[in-house]
């Protein structure tokens, strides 16, 4: 059996739209149906032990995120309703902070543009509660592994790896995997491997100057793909954290064999680090038919990735990140998780 943590709180985080490049309004791709597809698939196997997360309160979240940023998330919706904006269906700023001489304005939209990096981290009434529950799913999985489980899965929604110390972006508000990794880091060295299609810029931000959590992200080259400003190979960490961050940017069209070759390089770094625990940011948007992706990993390829990560033999916390081909999400997650049970 594998312990899996899931909360229904995500359902009320369902923004009516997001804005793509070119100003195109599209239905929110990071939608509640993603969880239903995964839950349905998990119900068909005999090894999924699904339960509600525990409530860990705000302390483990404040341990990786800026307090004022979390306060912003907590009150943004109520403040938004009190504004005179014409369309209040979702809070989206249209002006973003240049963080060169950071000034923090008082207005809601000023703070929204300060704390949000793009047009896909849309805030609605249920967002904050969903984000807290999502972090609790990752923390519950971390605690299960700390208590001796070989692996556990945080079925987190919203995802987290684009959320930095003090910003939201890319559908992410609280960095679930980082909260879990930081919580585990008090019990031993942690490695965090991010296989989401997009660079885990938020995770990179949170651990960049630390040497007690090795962070590795394999993703589409930011030279052409979101998040555009982080994820290049030369970003290796800073200060005592230098050498404890690694990016593996991949070209568009990367297929199973080439992906697995890169994965081996990442796994070798983890072996050398000899961590006590592993956290995996498991985005399924590397899948060949993902609507946001350009990487061509097959369903079998995803299972093989799971197999090779599992072969490290480390107690592993698996955290859900992206993946937007809802039809394929169930089988891809089952194939991946099945290697850890
Ligand atoms: C967690 C996660 O996977 N977040 C990804 C957020 C990506 N948002 C940027 C969307 C860029 C839109 N590009 C449109 C390409 C459609 N073919
Ligand atoms: Zn992604």
Q: What is the mean pLDDT of residues 232-244?
A: 98
DSSP state for residue 205 in the 8-state scheme: H
What's the pLDDT at 100? Answer: 81
Evaluate if residue 85 carries a pLDDT over 90: yes
Question: Phi, psi at residue 262, to the nearest 5°?
Answer: -65, -40
Q: Which residues, 6 or more positions from 127, have their beta carbon under 8 angstroms from its beta carbon?
A: 13, 15, 73, 76, 77, 158, 173
Establish whether residue 315 lines the binding site of ligand 1, counting it when its CB lies within 6 angstroms of any ligand atom: no
Indicate which atom in ligand 1 lies nearest the CA of residue 291. Answer: 17
- What digits encode the pLDDT tens for the residues 36-79? 999 999 999 999 999 999 999 999 999 999 999 999 999 999 99
Whether the ω angle into residue 72 lies within 30 degrees of 0, i.e. cis, is no
Burial class (CB in 10 A: 0-12, 13-18, 19+), 247: buried
- 8 Å CB contact between 174 and 74: no
Establish whether residue 10 lines the binding site of ligand 1, counting it when its CB lies within 6 angstroms of any ligand atom: no
Tokens of 220: 């589409």
Average pLDDT, the chain: 97
The candidate with the shortest Cα–Cα distance to 339, out of 320, 311, 300, is 311
Establish whether residue 321 lines the binding site of ligand 1, counting it when its CB lies within 6 angstroms of any ligand atom: yes
| Portion of the chain with pLDDT greater than 90, in percent | 97
- What digits encode the pLDDT tens for the residues 101-139? 778 999 999 999 999 999 999 999 999 999 999 999 999
**Strand-strand pairing, 213-220 and 190-194:** parallel
Indicate which atom in ligand 1 lies nearest the CA of residue 120. Answer: 8
The CA distance from 327 to 290, in Å, is 10
Indicate which atom in ligand 1 lies nearest the CA of residue 161. Answer: 1
Choose which residue among 15, 19, 20 to substitute to test ligand 1 binding: the one with the highest number of ligand atoms within 8 A of its C-beta.
Answer: 20
Establish whether residue 235 lines the binding site of ligand 1, counting it when its CB lies within 6 angstroms of any ligand atom: no
99 band by pLDDT with thresholds 50, 70 and 90: confident
The beta strand positions in 22-72, using DSSP E, are: 25-26, 48-51
Question: Phi, psi at residue 296, to the nearest 5°?
Answer: -115, 50
- 8 Å CB contact between 154 and 74: no
Question: Is residue 326 classed as helix, strand or coil in its secondary structure?
Answer: helix
What's the pLDDT at 67? Answer: 98
What's the pLDDT at 97? Answer: 86
Q: Which residues, 6 or more positions from 90, have their beta carbon under 8 angstroms from its beta carbon?
A: 15, 16, 17, 122, 123, 124
Measured from the Cβ of residue 160, the count of other Cβ atoms closer than 10 Å reads 31
| Portion of the chain with pLDDT greater than 70, in percent | 100
What's the pLDDT at 164? Answer: 98
Question: Phi, psi at residue 177, to the nearest 5°?
Answer: -65, -40
Tokens of 323: 């993946």
User: Ligand 1 mean position to 170 CA, how many Å?
Assistant: 7
- What digits encode the pLDDT tens for the residues 273-313? 999 999 999 999 999 999 999 999 999 999 999 999 999 99
**For the stretch 111-139, what's the b/e string if a residue is b when 16 or more beta carbons lie within 10 angstroms of its beta carbon?**
bbbbbbbbbbbbbbebbbbbbbbbbbbbb
């Amino acid at each position: 059996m594998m312990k899996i943590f899931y909360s229904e709180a995500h359902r009320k985080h369902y923004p009516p739209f997001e804005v793509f490049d070119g100003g195109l309004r599209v239905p929110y791709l990071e939608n509640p149906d993603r969880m239903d597809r995964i839950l349905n698939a998990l119900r068909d196997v005999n090894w999924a032990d699904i339960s509600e997360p525990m409530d860990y309160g705000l302390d483990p979240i404040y341990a990786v995120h800026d307090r004022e940023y979390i306060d912003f998330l907590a009150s943004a919706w109520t403040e938004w309703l009190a504004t005179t904006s014409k369309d209040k269906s979702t809070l989206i700023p249209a002006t973003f902070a240049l963080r060169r001489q950071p000034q923090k304005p008082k207005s809601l939209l000023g703070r929204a543009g300060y704390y949000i990096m793009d047009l896909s981290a849309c805030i609605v009434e249920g967002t904050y509660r969903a984000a807290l529950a999502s972090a609790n799913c990752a923390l519950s999985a971390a605690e299960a592994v700390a208590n001796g489980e070989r692996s556990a899965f945080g079925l987190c929604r919203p995802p987290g790896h684009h959320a930095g110390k003090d910003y939201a972006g890319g559908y992410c508000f609280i960095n679930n995997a980082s909260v879990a990794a930081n919580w585990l880091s008090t019990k031993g060295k942690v490695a965090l491997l991010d296989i989401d299609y997009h660079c885990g810029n938020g995770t990179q931000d949170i651990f960049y100057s630390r040497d007690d959590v090795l962070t590795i992200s394999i993703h589409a080259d930011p030279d052409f793909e979101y998040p555009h400003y982080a994820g290049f190979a030369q970003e290796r960490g800073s200060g005592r954290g230098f050498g404890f961050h690694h990016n593996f940017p991949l070209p568009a069209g990367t297929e199973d064999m080439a992906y697995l070759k890169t994965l081996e390089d990442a796994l070798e770094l983890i072996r050398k680090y000899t961590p006590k625990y592993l956290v995996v940011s498991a985005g399924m948007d590397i899948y060949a038919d993902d609507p946001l992706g350009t990487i061509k990993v097959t369903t079998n390829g995803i299972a093989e990735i799971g197999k090779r990560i599992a072969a490290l033999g480390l107690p592993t916390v698996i955290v859900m990140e992206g993946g937007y081909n809802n039809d394929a999400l169930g089988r891809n997650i089952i194939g991946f998780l099945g290697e850890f049970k």
